[in-house]
Structure 1
């Protein structure tokens, strides 16, 4: 069972990168057409990013959280990740200076809730459960943190279609801080919320998605929420039956 889940996880990560790369390439080739938006927000973020990890979670009986190792150290690394990526980078000030309307801010939230959820599920649910004994073995603990960092590096290198090494390296470092935060806190949802905040602020600062379809981001968010709701209901039913 462990070998099976690890093999499927590796295959899923490959599908994740391919889905991200193809959707980004199509977006550029079609000048961000509706088709490319649907591929990115529905197929990539919803079906690949959210559905696959949640499906594996239920198939292999994974858990979102494990017992906390060191709460103070965990939160410290998450705070460092936020400060480095939003304050020291200048992204927070840039986002404020753009003076977004509340409607546009909501669009960005709806766009990057499922996007960051997909990345978070792969980084902080699928990868930790692929390694299995990282909370008992020091070598696997180091491997977990490094794997999360590499996952972020490769993800954003693919996002730039292998053009922006600086972005990839920066996100690899942020992934390292988030990986350390996860290692000590062992809470998916806390680390995910940190990732969501980081991605939201930086994307607002980049100011790239003002024209993105509102209906597409609503559909993508509803799809991800539906998948999470089914997972919650199924887990609640399982606990009740046991």
Structure 2
């Protein structure tokens, strides 16, 4: 599929993560209608996302699989309601899920009075709510656009197959990769049904992504 083929109206737009950039941009374009489980995770491998989806999130961020990788001023999501996000300038742990090889960077504040185990129940309750919303949305919306940063052709084929098993609704997939040495969006024709793949110029100094590139991607996409 070409980019033009997926630029239409959908019942729901869903982030499959990679970087927080996806969620930031669909929110900026008023296309985000719910909080998903992968919205604010660092999830470098699409193969691991495929495994997560195939397992329907079983064992996702189980406490026994979580380790502290470090800490930084990533920012803490204090609350999220009606698509309004309240951020706090806090140092948070970088927590790795060793089962699915993903990272939570905005959920666990460093607090000498509380350890990881004491803050886990509230985090898990929030995550379970987002998982349930994700599964409900992709099975109640008649058309879906999934957007994912990072992925190769083989992983995209696998993703298409996995999604076909967890929803019977019509969907398209947009895979976004970054490439050095280009100045504009480059479309790649992978020849996969329901999959569009593009490359964007790499912008290493801005986690939100380049607004002009994302405008070209999302401006013609609307919600039904």
Calculate the TM-score normalised by the size of structure 2.
0.29
Greater helix content = 1
Q: Which has the higher contact order (CA 8 A, sep 6+)?
A: 1
Calculate the TM-score normalised by the size of structure 1.
0.28
